[in-house]
Structure 1
Amino acid sequence: MPTDSLTNLINEYKQSSDLTYHSWFLHNEDRLKAFRSIRRGVLQVISDIKDGSFPNDFKGSSLEFVLTCITEQKQVFEGASHPFYWKPKLRIPDIYENQDHKRYFGQFLESCLKATKPETVIAEIRRLDSYQIKGLGPAVASILYFLHPTWMPPFNTAIINGYNRLFNERRKLGSWSEYLAIREKLITVNNEYRQLLSNDLGAFAGLLFEIGAGNLLVPGIGEQPEGEREKVQKQLSKRHKEVISDQQEEQTHSEMQHHLLTIGRALGYDVAVARNDLSRQYNGHAFSFVSLPSLPALPVAPETAQTIALIDVVWLEKGTGRLVCAFEVEKSTSIYSGILRLTDLTCSLPDHATTLYLVVPDSRRKEVEMQLTRPSIRQTNTPIRYVLMSELRTHCDALCRFGDDHRVLEKIARTV
């Protein structure tokens, strides 16, 4: 399409608060947190394949954990896990029962994880493709994006539909060669419009997703079918409701962080909010006024320190800087990634007697209990407790008034 038309389309995409540029790419903190969680999850998949503990089914596997972290992103990645479900009758994808194929997949993930240039990843894609593993195609690109977001675009039906509409092509979904051809063009066009989009290919992928989902109309591509604009308006209305719901969740998330910061200070601890939440506030109370500006130096690798700095709320002993409690506030989608950050913390700082908590919506109690009973979670030295949002809200003042130390939380915390 003409350059000026694409510029206008990108601007329309960026200006609508209901589309993924704002609701997912630009203003979604969970997206940023997911990169580290997914990277560590991929390491676990590789380890499980190496030591022979990777199961013969998707359910309960470390791969399910990774794909659930991805699908928690909603919108662009909705349905990303479906291609990895084990379909016994079709024997696809053949990475569960075929041991050679399982090993090839693990080696592919390890090489891509360690890659320092895009050419390495492309070579590994071609190698994986040469093995002709039934049912294992470019759906893996959803994982690759979170390993190398400036090199590899995500790939799904809506994105390829948007690509074909935008560039008037007929690319197909299930072929690595098609994916690589699409990737090459996306990078070329993205470089041309870098000032409008981003070095992170997620911004461009979000544009294609919206076009493919019918939320953005591409000008100059023939006549629109009868009723197309009405359909778009209905979809945008639905998306608007979803965005409003997400905003309400963010408000609740900030409320819970505020309660945790308030209780921690009342009990005599230093408190720290997630690094990327310092600018937030709740009901006129700015987090930056009560939180430490940053966590004290911790004896962990820099990458792990970055993950710990993203934990929603941390309590520390005054003077020593030792971690006392760590809290992840979960919303209606993200549970896996929060659990992963907490287990990352306790594994990295075994000398800190840190108590771990999830703060969860009441409606997700059963799901949280199910996830906390996973063997991989139970293996950690420190159990994870959970607190219902309604109880934290109701008992905040009492905990501040009558508590002596962090153990007062045992009054409302639950275990599995």
Structure 2
Amino acid sequence: MTIDLQSIIQNYKSDLESVYNTWFINNEERLKAFRSIRRGVIQVVHDIKNANFGNDFKGSSLEFVLTCITEQKQVFEGAAHPFYWKPKLRIPDIYENEANKIAFGQFLESCLIFSKEDQIIKEIIKLSSKNIKGLGPAVASIIYFLHPTIIPPFNTGIVNGFNYLFSEKQKLGSWDSYLRMREIIIQVNQQYKNILSSDLGAFAGLLFEIGSNKLIINHKQVIDETQRSKVEKLMAKRHTEVSFEREEEDLHTEMQYHLLKIGQSLGYAVIAAANDRSKSFAENKFSFFCLPCLPAMEIDKDTLNTINLIDVLWLEKSTNQIISGFEVEKSTSIYSGILRLTDLAISFPNNLKTLFLVVPNKREKEVIMQLKRPCIQQQNISIKYILFSDLRQHCEAICKFGEDYTVISKISKVA
């Protein structure tokens, strides 16, 4: 079978419900995730170094990292499964075997420090040589968020798509198979990166679409009714997911608008996340009442980039000091939002008055659980939360009767 890869890529890009359009280029949360996941990996390394990692996946800093990854959805569905501690099978053996735990921590630390391709590949080979039971190339999905142009993510759908596209027989749990896959992906992506991306997530998304039967690459092949029905169900499921994500995005924009409106009515300068400033709600463009950019701040570039992605900030007009920060959550990781607020608090320990997560009512229990995690509590940073319904209901009254930032605390809750 001869495959016209350029046409396949064009079909992939032109499908508005494909991974390319719903996750890779039109998903602002994907961009936010890179910094949050890096911060999470740093915490995992710190916990392993200081013997605080524990002997279970649940409640660990590694769980937070995988939560950030899996809530990217689509390409990363199921990414956490290989890391669940299965005592009877003793896999993955990084929870009770101290030497393996340290090896895993040192591998992650090296991937944080190193930036060159050969360095990262050497660390993968070194980790593979230790034959840690159950610790296979699923780790690549973590490393992708540290080095997106070097390491492609890895899961069943991607492997299936790869094998079908290139007539290979690579295995899911093998580092050797992963490294062979990676070499081919790198070579092919180099040829097509001008119409795709140097970020390997775009090509991995293509493989995932093929492997999940959402993108049929041989339109001449005859498929039976069972296969046809399966494909139609997958397409319907994807359409439902995309529609739901669009509804969530509309809610997210609405909550940002309420927060910006309240901040402005209280006399503060307000600003939305850098990638949201062109948005509007009910024909009210954010750019008409938001600052065009953050004022100059004496913080490092990485932290500034993180703060620049916080959903809403209130600042004192006379001093440009940040008074309050708000992260509006939807189906994205709550922990990711907490990390951004924590970055903000650490950067301005003497200025900030209030930090808030704004969350759907149905996620209240999850918010409480996350804010009560020991690794959050030990930060000694106060983060309250506000429910969507309360913000919507009381917005007008707060705008009318509120005097300063303290009024928002009247609709907030403490975990």
TM-score range, shorter chain: over 0.9
Work out the CA distance in 2 between the residues paired with 1:217 and 1:382.
Answer: 50
- Equivalence map 1:160-199=2 (5 Å): 160-199=159-198
SS at match of 1:325: strand
Deviation at 1:334, TM superposition (A): 2.6
* Conservation of the 8 A alpha-carbon contact between 2:152 and 2:204: yes
Q: Which amino acid aligns with 1:268?
A: G
Q: Does 1:104 align with 2:74?
A: no
Partner of 1:343: 342
Q: Which amino acid aligns with 1:355?
A: T
Q: Does 1:265 align with 2:264?
A: yes
Deviation at 1:343, TM superposition (A): 1.1
Partner of 1:233: 232
Q: Does 1:26 align with 2:61?
A: no
TM-score norm. by structure 1 comes to 0.97
Deviation at 1:231, TM superposition (A): 2.2
Deviation at 1:218, TM superposition (A): 2.0
Partner of 2:407: 408
Partner of 2:279: 280
Work out the CA distance in 1 between the residues paired with 2:49 and 2:298.
Answer: 29
Deviation at 1:344, TM superposition (A): 1.5
412 and 187 in structure 1: CA distance in 2 versus 1, 3 angstrom threshold: same
Partner of 2:241: 242
Partner of 1:361: 360
Work out the CA distance in 1 between the residues paired with 2:332 and 2:112.
Answer: 26
Partner of 2:46: 47
SS at match of 1:147: coil
Deviation at 1:234, TM superposition (A): 2.0
Q: Which amino acid aligns with 1:285?
A: N
Deviation at 1:225, TM superposition (A): 4.1
SS at match of 2:325: strand
* Conservation of the 8 A alpha-carbon contact between 1:347 and 1:380: no
Let me know the Cα RMSD of the aligned residues.
1.2
What are the Cα deviations for residues 241-273 of structure 1, in whole angstroms up to 9, with x where unaligned? Answer: 110110010001000000000000000000010
Partner of 1:374: 373
SS at match of 2:355: strand
Q: Which amino acid aligns with 2:160?
A: N
Work out the CA distance in 2 between the residues paired with 1:298 and 1:71.
Answer: 33
Name the stretch that deviates more: 117-126 or 326-335. Answer: 326-335
- Equivalence map 1:60-99=2 (5 Å): 60-99=59-98
172 and 220 in structure 1: CA distance in 2 versus 1, 3 angstrom threshold: farther
Deviation at 1:217, TM superposition (A): 1.0
Aligned length: 415
Deviation at 1:221, TM superposition (A): 8.5
Work out the CA distance in 1 between the residues paired with 2:93 and 2:224.
Answer: 40
Work out the CA distance in 2 between the residues paired with 1:97 and 1:227.
Answer: 45
Work out the CA distance in 1 between the residues paired with 2:156 and 2:353.
Answer: 43
Work out the CA distance in 1 between the residues paired with 2:148 and 2:383.
Answer: 31
Work out the CA distance in 2 between the residues paired with 1:168 and 1:121.
Answer: 27
Work out the CA distance in 2 between the residues paired with 1:360 and 1:306.
Answer: 23
Partner of 1:308: 307
* Conservation of the 8 A alpha-carbon contact between 1:138 and 1:174: yes
Deviation at 1:83, TM superposition (A): 0.5
Name the stretch that deviates more: 222-231 or 136-145. Answer: 222-231
Work out the CA distance in 2 between the residues paired with 1:321 and 1:104.
Answer: 45
Work out the CA distance in 2 between the residues paired with 1:225 and 1:163.
Answer: 23
Work out the CA distance in 2 between the residues paired with 1:333 and 1:139.
Answer: 21
* Uncovered stretches (5+) of structure 2, i.e. residues with no partner: none
Deviation at 1:201, TM superposition (A): 0.4
Work out the CA distance in 1 between the residues paired with 2:140 and 2:397.
Answer: 49
225 and 169 in structure 1: CA distance in 2 versus 1, 3 angstrom threshold: farther
* Conservation of the 8 A alpha-carbon contact between 2:93 and 2:100: yes
Q: Which amino acid aligns with 2:162?
A: Y
Q: Which amino acid aligns with 2:265?
A: A
Q: Which amino acid aligns with 2:89?
A: L
* Conservation of the 8 A alpha-carbon contact between 2:273 and 2:309: yes
* Uncovered stretches (5+) of structure 1, i.e. residues with no partner: none
Work out the CA distance in 1 between the residues paired with 2:353 and 2:38.
Answer: 24
Work out the CA distance in 2 between the residues paired with 1:184 and 1:86.
Answer: 31
Deviation at 1:168, TM superposition (A): 1.2
* Conservation of the 8 A alpha-carbon contact between 1:153 and 1:205: yes
* Conservation of the 8 A alpha-carbon contact between 2:115 and 2:147: no
Partner of 2:149: 150
Deviation at 1:180, TM superposition (A): 0.5
216 and 270 in structure 1: CA distance in 2 versus 1, 3 angstrom threshold: same
* Conservation of the 8 A alpha-carbon contact between 1:14 and 1:21: yes
SS at match of 1:227: helix
Deviation at 1:345, TM superposition (A): 1.2
Q: Which amino acid aligns with 2:333?
A: S
Query: Could you tell me the percent identity over the aligned residues?
Result: 60
Deviation at 1:319, TM superposition (A): 1.4
Work out the CA distance in 2 between the residues paired with 1:269 and 1:46.
Answer: 39
